[in-house]
Structure 1
Amino acid sequence: MDSTSDITVGQVVKSRAGRDKGNIFLVLDIIDDKYLYVVDGDIRKLDNPKKKKVKHLIIYNTIVPELKEKIENGTKINNAYIRKLLEPFKIKL
């Protein structure tokens, strides 16, 4: 699966390669069909999102609709909010 057609903003992903292997992120933006911007609110903050190749990510079916809405509406979000959204996933996954 090397296509972003089934990936959306606010989706939960896990890094499977690189220095951040095993970390859980949220998709902040989709660059093109190979690259995404991901954030975790901790190491990768909103002002410095990580550019990741789709093939280096495990894509989960979980989407955080509140984040997607806030980004689409241009609502200000902060890193603490991102960390709070990711909290339940760090325990489960």
Structure 2
Amino acid sequence: MLSEKIRVGQVVKGLSGRETGKLFFVVKIVDHEYVLIADGKKRKLDRPKLKKVKHLKVYSFLNDKVKNKIASDTITDAFLRAELTKSKELIFD
């Protein structure tokens, strides 16, 4: 299935809708077809976006810091923004 290659803490890029071209972290896997994404700026952790996996480009980069903080429920929007900025540099350099 599609969700087998996607995990919490993974960087994804929106391919459709208002999120086209923007990077996000996967914060929760709802089922095999849907995930919740957030970037800490427009899509904050208290209101993540429900998105179909087929409308996302999934990068192989998995941020373990984000994954662990989401699991322990100690993550903040500021931390998410900072890690997304660092991840952009690693993905596109």
In the alignment, which residue of structure 2 is the partner of 1:80? 78
Query: Following TM superposition, where does structure 1 have runs of at least 4 consecutive aligned residues deviating by more than 3 angstroms?
Result: none
Distance 2:23 2:47 in 1: 16
Structure that is richer in helix per residue: 2
The answer to whether the 8 A contact 1:24-1:89 is kept is no
Give me the CA root mean square deviation. Answer: 1.4
Which stretch has the larger CA shift, 83-92 or 18-27? Answer: 83-92
1:44 corresponds in structure 2 to 43
Render the CA deviation track for 1:13-40: whole Å, top value 9, x for unaligned: 0000001100000000000000000000
User: Which ranges in structure 1 are unaligned for 5 or more consecutive residues?
Assistant: none
Report the counterpart of residue 71 of structure 1 in structure 2. Answer: 70
CA distance in 2, matches of 1:72, 1:86: 17
- Count of aligned positions: 91
Distance 1:61 1:32 in 2: 20
Q: TM-score, normalised by structure 1?
A: 0.90
State how far apart, in whole Å, the 2-side matches of 1:7 and 1:55 are. Answer: 11
SS at match of 1:4: helix
Relative to 1, partners in 2 of residues 1:65 and 1:21: Cα closer, same or farther, differing over 3 Å? same
Per the TM alignment, residue 57 of structure 1 is displaced from its structure 2 partner at its CA by 0.1
1:73 offset after TM fit, Å? 2.5
* 1:17 and 2:13 aligned: no
Partner Cα separation in structure 1 for residue 70 and residue 86 of structure 2: 21
Gaps of 5+ in 2: none
Local SS of the residue matching 1:19 = helix
Q: Give the TM-score of the pair, scaled to structure 2.
A: 0.90
